[in-house]
Amino acid sequence: MPNIIDELLNKESFTREDLIILLQADAVQRQQIYTKAAAIKEEYVGKKVYFRGLIEFSNICAKNCYYCGIRRGNKKVERYYLTEQEVVDAALYAWKEQYASLVIQAGERSDHTHTRNITSLLRRIHHETNGEMHITLSLGEQSEETLREWFDAGAHRYLLRIEETDQALYRKLHPNDKTHDFTTRLNCLYTLRKIGYQVGTGVMIGLPFQTIENLADDLIFFRDIDIDMAGMGPYIEHEDTPLWEYRDLLLPREERFNLTMKMIALLRIMMKDINIAATTAMQAIDPVGREKALKVGANVTMPNLTPVKYREGYLLYEDKPCVDEEADECKNCLEARIKLSGDDIGYGEWGDSVHFRGRRK
């Protein structure tokens, strides 16, 4: 006798109501979702895991998101900004290790000094790696002009999490002002698409006030705007942020982790050929969290290449893992973990989203 979860998993396409049921799957039922997602992953994107070397370029941020440890209002944080040479060195390390892809992430700044620095960096990395290093940016909301300039200088992918698609909840998580406007963030995703970037977005899971219905709507949003890449992770509280006040409303961390696993698996089933990241925040909750994510549908992971002396400065949330490991240790550790989980590593390959390639044809 097929059970309700099996029946839903065999449908062509999920409705909002289906997703609400699936997201509430219990410990036994969720294994059915994971098994289906793993099979789809293997069929559509293969067993390869792509490494993206992550450079946390700067923790200087002009914004004040209520959840984030490096928000402008947190005066306890010592701010840093990597030199161009430090980034180029990390890029060359990644190139030598055949990662073929880099993520440059930072707090949001749109002043000219910063945007020009990024342009110059992109040109240098492009030049010094013979154009072989693909670059993903995760630098927050920017003007169309800036995003075009970066695209022309060699960036091809952009990650901008919508964070939460319910606008009322979005307002609760951000100051209610012009620099934290939901529509501006959404429009930025459309601009990225128009320019030609591979576009990634995502949400945090287990936020205070967030409901299962919100998460179902988030998944539908990803499908509707037809993303190429996704990065989703559990929300993890940070003492020096305004949301700390609501920590008693949170699900236990393990449940936030399980919900994230379900979100990843369901998204893999819904959007078969996109790239999905196994995010660092998963490992903050479970020591093998990233590997678990890879088993249920994720196919990208990001070894940290930020020089170790800066890592303590980039604590978006509590218990962030790998803050004291050199790039080599990070790589070896991840490599061993991925092999254990039965996947192969796509060294020397760009690992473009298959979905993106399909759309361009």
Applying CB under 6 A, the residues found at the interface with ligand SF4 are: 61, 63, 65, 68, 70-71, 107-108, 140
Query: CB 183 → ligand SF4: shortest distance, Å?
Result: 16
Query: CB 167 → ligand SAH: shortest distance, Å?
Result: 17
Asked whether 290 and 337 are in contact (CB, 8 A), the reply is: yes
Distance CA 188, CA 141 (A): 6
Look up residue 150 and give its DSSP letter.
Answer: H
Query: CB 34 → ligand SAH: shortest distance, Å?
Result: 22
Choose the contact partner of 233 out of ligand SF4, ligand SAH, none; CB within 5 to 8 A by kind.
ligand SAH
Query: CB 54 → ligand SF4: shortest distance, Å?
Result: 14
Q: How far apart are the first and last CA of the chain?
A: 42
140 is a site residue for ligand SAH (CB under 6 A): yes
- Of 278, 286, 282, 284, the residue nearest 338 (C-alpha): 278
Which residue number, 31 or 64, has a Cβ lying nearer to ligand SF4? 64
Query: Left (φ > 0), alpha (ψ -120 to 50) or beta: where does 183 sit?
Result: alpha
Q: Name the segment binding ligand SAH (CB under 6 A); options: 10-18, 34-42, 160-168, 193-201.
A: 160-168
281 is a site residue for ligand SAH (CB under 6 A): yes
Q: Name the segment binding ligand SAH (CB under 6 A); options: 43-51, 104-112, 126-134, 345-353.
A: 104-112
Restricted to residues 202-261, the positions that interact with ligand SAH (CB under 6 A) are 204, 233, 235-236, 238
Choose the contact partner of 71 out of ligand SAH, ligand SF4, none; CB within 5 to 8 A by kind.
ligand SF4
Query: CB 59 → ligand SF4: shortest distance, Å?
Result: 7
Asked whether 289 and 56 are in contact (CB, 8 A), the reply is: no
Query: CB 302 → ligand SAH: shortest distance, Å?
Result: 12
Distance CA 188, CA 349 (A): 28
Query: CB 245 → ligand SF4: shortest distance, Å?
Result: 17
The SS3 of residue 196 is coil
Distance CA 221, CA 233 (A): 17
DSSP symbols for 94-139: HHHTT--EEEEEE----SHHHHHHHHHHHHHHHHHTTT--EEEEE-
Which residue number, 67 or 182, has a Cβ lying nearer to ligand SAH? 67
Which residue number, 161 or 290, has a Cβ lying nearer to ligand SAH? 161
Query: CB 2 → ligand SAH: shortest distance, Å?
Result: 37
32-71 b/e (C-beta count within 10 Å ≥ 16 → b): bbbebbbebbeeebeeebbbbbbbbbbbbbebbbbbbbbb
Asked whether 90 and 133 are in contact (CB, 8 A), the reply is: no
Rg value, the chain, Cα: 19
Choose the contact partner of 169 out of ligand SF4, ligand SAH, none; CB within 5 to 8 A by kind.
none
Token pair in block for residue 146: 């800036």
Which residue number, 209 or 350, has a Cβ lying nearer to ligand SF4? 209
In the complex, which residues of this chain contact ligand SAH (CB under 6 A)?
67-68, 105, 107-108, 138, 140, 160-161, 163, 204, 233, 235-236, 238, 281, 316-317
